[in-house]
Structure 1
Amino acid sequence: MRFAWLPTLAIVLLSTTQVVLAHDGPDPLARWRFDSESIVPQSDKAISLRARRGPDGTIVGKHQILGKKYDETLYFAGGESGVLLAENHKDAQKYLPTEHMTVSLVASIDQPQKWGGLIGVVQDNGKNESGWVVGYNEEVFTFALRGTEGTDRLTYLAGKTKYEKGKLYHVVATYDGKLMQLFVNGKLDAESNAQAGPIYYPEQTPFVLGAFCDSDEVNGHKGRIREIVLYDLAAKPAWVAHDFEHNANLTSLPAEEVQEPLDFVMKPYLQFGTQTSMTVMWRTNRPGSATLYYGETDECPQKIEVADAKEIHEIKIEGLEPETQYFYRTETRLKPEDEPLSSEVATFQTAVKRDTPFAFAVISDTQGNPKVSGTVGDYAWAQRPSFLLHAGDLVSTGKNESHWTQHFFPSMNPLMRHVPTFPVLGNHEQDAKFYYDYFSLPAPEYYYQFRFGNSDFFMIDSNRNVGPDSEQYKWLEKALSESDATWKFVCHHHPPYSSDENDYGNLWKTNKSTRGDLDARQLVPLYEKYNVDIVWNGHIHSYERTWPVRENKAVVAGAPVYMIVGGGGGNLETPGPVRPFFMNTVRRGHHYVMVRINGTKLEFQAYDIENRLFDEMVISKKTVSDN
């Protein structure tokens, strides 16, 4: 059955009212109006979107009703916002099309993104592609679908009509078992016959509105949605044109810039602390003037004001006393007379003097798993480190803004609001601008040095060239040669030594493996020449500690120890089947580590996701003992 009869019906009923037309067609599988009548509180925290037909959903994230009655729309604020209809689409299976489908919707886009979604039941992970989604990319509307008899991947239709931010559009996507079509404002915008047969659904994936969401990604919609209707029939172009007529008054309205209430995108956190300074950063959803209050009591009697209106706020406090506890809070205003957006009062301590003991946490590869990264971050904060060292892959996709604002910073804020974070770039950061915007580091930022207590830390970008003729190699050699620190540490993402099963050669199919990153291994002679104590790495999502290694041999003492601490959240990896010469301890599992330094003594401990100790080491400048 098709919508072929609808154009004829429309002609017959031209003399009747629009209400009759609206009710005289086929019943949809589901229909949602995004207005005040449809939004019902479920509890103190949960809010429901009641369907006109089909499944109700739970509204997630920040949202607001806009417009007057009969013209209301629901505005979603992006991030991880949207409407969850079913965590597993099979729980709402009777409302999903099987062989043919039509989606009709009215929506606006305020924030273009590579993978934007308005309604979907989709899985798009590498070769695992199935389901369907109607959404948009950075410029146009899109419709993706996979059939059982078409290609073995999703076919993504991208329209030709470039949308204007903030403007409402009528979008229709259809599939009749042979042909996919995408219409924008009543006109055909794209089509494809690459797919055929019934819709090929995933084994398990969420059913959502107002988001692109699969098993490992949530890209919430930022913009308005007026209505979404889902049919199990394929509409003809004449029906689409007629459906557009009912919404033409909305699509003819000028673009509307939605003014969200001032709020935090990222709450205040600390950067690059020294003995006499600390930098505080935060981001708001609208540009505003900023004031940082601080002092030695929670009244925070001193202040620094920045009048320039910005979204990303960065204020450096100078003239502080070494190893001293301070309090701070922030205020942001759109206008001087407005009520400020205020943060909670938090604390920090300036860096210690050379002869004072201190401790720090090391975490890596927090990417795309805020539940795990938040857990290990909270455990680390409970041990009161002086700072956090992060060995890269902070996020899954560095060029995806939501991975910073929704994954990394919210999960790590309980730790980062109290202690400064010193990161290096991983490959997943993609050298994205967000990294440089959200961290305040010495130029050129992708490599730098800092001193804490009696220790020097040398931070390297192992995604760039690190060979003997490279800028980083020459800088590192000079910096190491000039260091008079008791302890010398280096941090970069890729490990010179690793027993991983397949990153450097598949050890389940051959005995050939480089046993680590050969580019990063070019730095090893510098570590041995200038007596580096520990090299911190990530990239491999497991834990590994080597014996001291010199000239490619394990020694008892007096050589660098290499540690992979990639258990901050990424999908776990496994060591190979045999034990290489450098391996001391290896462990599969999420984790974090703590390092404690008192003069010439270093204590190291590693903790799992249950906060249980699983490895420890003590190094003295005279002896080394493993427990």
Structure 2
Amino acid sequence: MKFLFISFIALLSFSATAQNNPDFIVTPYLQIGSTPTPQSLQVLWHASKTDAVWLAEYKTTSGKWMKAEAQTTTPISTAGMEPFIIYTASFKSLIPGSSFMYRISKNSKVVFSVEAKAPKSATQSFRFIASGDMGAGTKEAKQIANGIYKANPDFVAFAGDLVYDYGLMSEYKTKFWPIYNADKVNETGVPLMQSIPFVGAVGNHDVDTKDLDKYPDALAYYLFWDQPLNGPVGQAGGAFVPVLKASDANRKAFTDAAGDKYPRMANFSFNYGNAHWTVIDADTYVDWTDSTLRAWVADDLANSKDITWHFVLYHHPGFSSSREHFEQQQMRLLAPVFEKGNVDIVFNGHVHNYQRSFPLHFKPDNKGTLMVGGKDNKTVRGRVVNGTWTLDKTFDGKTNTKPNGVIYIVSGAGGQTLYNPEQQSQPDTWQKFTDKFISTIHSFTMVDINGKNLKLRQVDVNGNEVDAIDITK
């Protein structure tokens, strides 16, 4: 089946500065911010350190330009890089679900203007894209970006590995901004982030590089993204915050720039439409046997029990049939928490293909076996978690659209080299919990929410629908 896209251009007219506009290092892009609401978005842009006076303005259907609220600056002074400034401003009076205009002026001259989408309210239908491992800068990543653009989503949920290979600011310059924050549709990328927000979960390629002396521009996630800060507070060397290696100067440069975002922005939650999202760090350094961390996830889900849909976003899948990364099962430990919290779908990346589980319930055996390796035999590779599962094989997403259990989606075919293409035609190699396995072509997950109805479609780089299910409440 060929999926019919609606052109984003037909729905959003825009005029934006060229990507190489000398006024910007990175042209404006949207984020949900630290305290997201249906009436608000954040706009960020990067520019050289100058004495220029910048102003962000926006207007809704009322037609009156308003000054953006709470405009701030964050100086970035990283060793080996030219200093620059990240500007942030808030649009706080948006009309949910409506288009709006915003513009950026430099020294009283408009240098950027674009039309964008306000977030949806709990009574409005919406579409989101979920995909991981899109930050490779490959031909396939660009094809996926073009497909997402044509699908005209309201936001993108990025399941980790936001940029390869080390999560560096310099890597964003070549593998991220040109693809997802281009000025227009071309062979390099698409103008997505200027008009809709991306929400990002951290992957191993985003946060595993912790040596700021070797890579002073590492951990760019904590500088370039603006997301909620309502997650658990951790301490370096604890259950979910690794220890940084850095000289005093490099440490200060990073922590001054990251501010409150480090390390708290690795775990957070937010609402969009009638859905609640829990976004967590699933990296191997995180100890999910820690009671404080598990309690935060449980409480977050319990506090959102009156919201219709519940989604969880993280990088490393607990339920995967791929031979690659099979030992990294640590996230299975949270299955009982997800089930008690009435989670509908868990979205993952890390494994570079598409997999959909049967709706399942899982009971782990004890705490699992920690796997270590590396030259020093101390590097944590993951945790093997055995247990028992109960599968709902009566759910088919067509005639039976009410699943009994959590559905786990691996959507890691966002641009990086595909894993285990041979397994697609070898169902005997799949785990019993796997219902669908597509590993011979890159693809992304598209979800439409309309009240108590959900449509999930997996779309490949050619626009073909390779999987589809409906869920009803």
Aligned equivalent of 2:114: 346
Change (3 A) 1:314 1:374: farther
In the TM superposition, residue 300 of structure 1 has moved relative to its aligned partner by 6.7
Q: Which runs of 5+ in 2 are unaligned?
A: 1-18, 76-84, 182-190, 209-217, 230-263, 363-388, 395-402
Show the counterpart of 2:309: 487
Equivalent of residue 390 in structure 2, options 529, 541, 553? 553
The question of whether the paired residues in 1 share the 8 Å contact of 2:74 and 2:86 is answered with no
Residue 205 of structure 1 is matched in structure 2 by none
Map 1:327-338 to 2 at 5 A: 327-332=101-106, 336=107
Shift of 1:320: 2.6
Letter of the aligned partner of 1:521 in structure 2?
A: R
Residue of structure 1 in register with 2:433 after alignment = 582
Matched, 1:616 2:437: no
Aligned pair partner of 1:269 in 29, 47, 50: 29
How far is 1:341 from its partner? 7.1
Deviations 1:217-262 (A, max 9, x none): xxxxxxxxxxxxxxxxxxxxxxxxxxxxxxxxxxxxxxxxxxxx94
Deviation at 1:399, TM superposition (A): 4.2
Determine whether 1:457 maps to 2:277. Answer: yes
Runs of 4+ that moved beyond 4 A: 297-300, 305-310
3-state DSSP class of the match of 2:266?
coil
CA change 1:471–1:331 in 2 (3 A) is farther
- Would you say the 8 A contact 1:370–1:411 is kept in 2? no
Task: Give 2:459's match in structure 1, choosing from 599, 607, 619.
Answer: 607
Q: CA deviation at 1:308?
A: 5.7
Alpha-carbon separation, structure 2, partners of 1:502 and 1:574: 7
| Residue 497, structure 1, aligned to residue 319, structure 2 | yes
- Choose 1 or 2 for highest CA Rg: 1
Segment drifting more, 539-548 vs 345-354: 345-354
- Tell me: CA distance 1:600–1:266, structure 2 relative to 1, closer, same or farther (3 Å): same
Tell me which residue corresponds to 1:541.
Answer: 352
Structure 1 residue 559: Cα displacement: 0.5
Q: TM-score, normalised by structure 2?
A: 0.68
Shift of 1:472: 3.0
Task: Answer yes or no: is 1:377 the counterpart of 2:145.
Answer: yes
When the two chains are superposed, the root-mean-square deviation of aligned CA atoms in Å is 2.4
Secondary structure in structure 1 of the residue aligned to 2:346 = strand
Aligned to 2:91: 317
SS at structure 2 position matched to 1:274 = coil
Distance change (3 Å), C-alpha of 1:308 and 1:609: closer
Whether 2:425 is the aligned partner of 1:425: answer no
- For 1:165-564, what aligned pairs fall within 5 Å after superposition? 262-272=22-32, 274-287=37-50, 288-296=52-60, 301-304=65-68, 306=71, 311-332=85-106, 336=107, 340=109, 342-343=111-112, 345-413=113-181, 414-430=191-207, 432-443=218-229, 444-463=264-283, 464-483=285-304, 484-504=306-326, 514=327, 517-551=328-362, 552-555=389-392, 556=394, 557-564=403-410
Is contact 1:466-1:473 (8 Å) kept? no
Partner SS state of residue 145, structure 2: helix
Q: Distance in 2 between matches of 1:386 and 1:302?
A: 23
Q: TM-score, normalised by structure 1?
A: 0.52
Relative to structure 1, is the Cα distance of residues 293 and 563 closer, same or farther in structure 2, using a 3 angstrom cutoff? Answer: same
Which secondary structure does the structure 1 equivalent of 2:127 belong to?
strand
Determine if contact 1:300/1:329 at 8 Å carries over to the other structure.
no
Task: Measure how far apart 1:613 and its partner are.
Answer: 1.2
Among the aligned pairs, what percent are the same residue? 29
Q: Is the 8 A contact 1:270 1:421 kept in 2?
A: yes
1:295 partner letter: K
CA offsets 1:434-459 (integer angstroms, 9 cap, x no match):
10111111222111111111110000
Displacement of 1:422 after TM fit?
A: 0.8
AA aligned to 1:548 is P
* 1:470/1:312 CA distance change after superposition, 3 Å: farther
Give how far 1:466 is off: 4.6
- Greater relative contact order (Cα 8 A, min sep 6): structure 1 or 2? 2
Q: Deviations over 1:181-213 (max 9, x none)?
A: xxxxxxxxxxxxxxxxxxxxxxxxxxxxxxxxx
SS of equivalent residue, structure 1 residue 539: coil
Secondary structure of 1:445's counterpart equals helix
Distance apart, 1:370 and its partner CA: 4.6
For 2:74 and 2:273, the matched residues in 1 are separated by 37
Measure the CA separation in 1 of the matches of 2:289 and 2:72: 46
Between 1:457-466 and 1:491-500, the stretch displaced more is: 457-466
Structure 1 distance, partners of 2:160, 2:144, is 15
What are the Cα deviations for residues 576-595 of structure 1, in whole angstroms up to 9, with x where unaligned?
45121111111112111110
**Matched residues in 1 for 2:74 and 2:435: separation?**
53
Corresponding position of 1:74: none
- Look up the equivalent residue of 2:273 and give its one-letter code: G
**Partner Cα distance (1:549, 1:289) in 2:** 55
Aligned 8 A contact 1:354 1:454 in 2: yes
Whether the 8 Å contact between 2:448 and 2:454 is mirrored in structure 1 is yes
Matched residues in 2 for 1:539 and 1:418: separation?
A: 27
Cα separation, 2, equivalents of 1:274 and 1:324: 14
Question: 1:266, 1:410 within 8 Å by CA — same for their partners in 2?
Answer: no
Counterparts of 1:466 and 1:460, CA distance in 2? 12
Q: Could you tell me how far apart the structure 1 residues matched to 2:324 and 2:353 are? A: 13
Structure 1, gaps ≥5 residues long: 1-60, 63-260, 505-513, 622-627
Report the residue type matching 1:502 in the other structure. E
Question: The residue matched to 2:160 in structure 1 has which SS?
Answer: coil
Cα deviation, 1:116-153, whole Å, max 9, x if unaligned, reads xxxxxxxxxxxxxxxxxxxxxxxxxxxxxxxxxxxxxx
Query: Residue 212 of structure 1 corresponds to which residue in structure 2?
Result: none
Distance in 1 (CA, whole Å) between partners of 2:415 and 2:48 is 27
